[in-house]
Structures are given as C-alpha cells and as structure tokens.
Structure 1
C-alpha cells in the first residue's frame, strides 16, 4: 500500500428523508487515481477531493476537484440536499 493510500477517506452522503446513499465524497489516492480520472471530465491530482453520484443504471458522475473534504461536502449539500455524512469502510 502506498503512503497516499493510507490517507484514503470515503464518506457517504444521506438526506434525512431517506436511508439511501445520495453521493460519495472521497479523496484521490494512488488506489483510485486512474479510475477517478477515467470517469471525470476534469483532471484530478493525488490529495484532491471529489464528490460522485451514481444513477439508477450505476453510471457514475464525478464532480470536482475540490481542495478540501468540506468543499466537496458543501457541493453535495447545495446540489443534492445531503444533510449528513457517514464514514464508510473502504474496499
């Protein structure tokens, strides 16, 4: 495991009116660098943050990059109505 992978954080966002996951906020590490950049419209660097949303067909849209986790969470709050985040164990 690379040094950057040890700092991997994955937060799942929820609205209060449903228990369904609305989005994921995470940081870019070596572990997900290639996948994030393949799915994103913008280029991401290690240690940047993103917010992702999957539709009913499991198509993923990546938003960002953001400088901080809080910036990515704020985007989710404003655009998806997310009210709470929960740390998720990573794969």
Structure 2
C-alpha cells in the first residue's frame, strides 16, 4: 500500500506543477479530487486515502512555500522514501473482532 500512496503523491505533485506552469493556478486538495477519482480500484486504496494524500501534499506545499515537493521513491536503495499510509477512522472496517 505504501507504494500506491507514493504513486498518488507523485501524481499529485506532477499535476500541481503542471497546473502552476500552464495556468498559474495553485490546486487545492478539493481541486485534485476529480483527477484521482476512480484510481482507488487500480491502486487497491480507499478513496478517502487518496483524498488524505492529496490534502497532505497541499498542506506540505503551503508549509514549505514551494511550487514542487520532492518525489517519493518506492524502489530500493539509499534514496528510498519511507512508506506512509494515512489512516482514516471513517474508512476503517473491522473483521473478526
């Protein structure tokens, strides 16, 4: 799941960068939802997880005042990012207790 989350982070990063370059508009977390709609089935992630990743990206971009943040890498090696998975309590399901 961490690789899928990194993939979404990188996609939103590229989408945001292209929006700023082509239209001069910073995307909000709400603006990225139509672009990630339906990707949850392919990436085996819940839709709220995709929304959390987009929200976290926008928060960090504003915090560091950058147009583009670093890519999250999933491959092995020294420059690998640690995987993180945002957990939404609204999307949690309990099975067998």
TM-score, structure 2 length as denominator? 0.25
Greater per-residue strand proportion: 1
Instruction: Compute the TM-score of the two structures, normalised by the length of structure 1.
Output: 0.26
Structure holding more helix per residue? 2
Indicate the structure whose relative CO is greater, using CA pairs within 8 Å and at least 6 residues apart.
Answer: 2
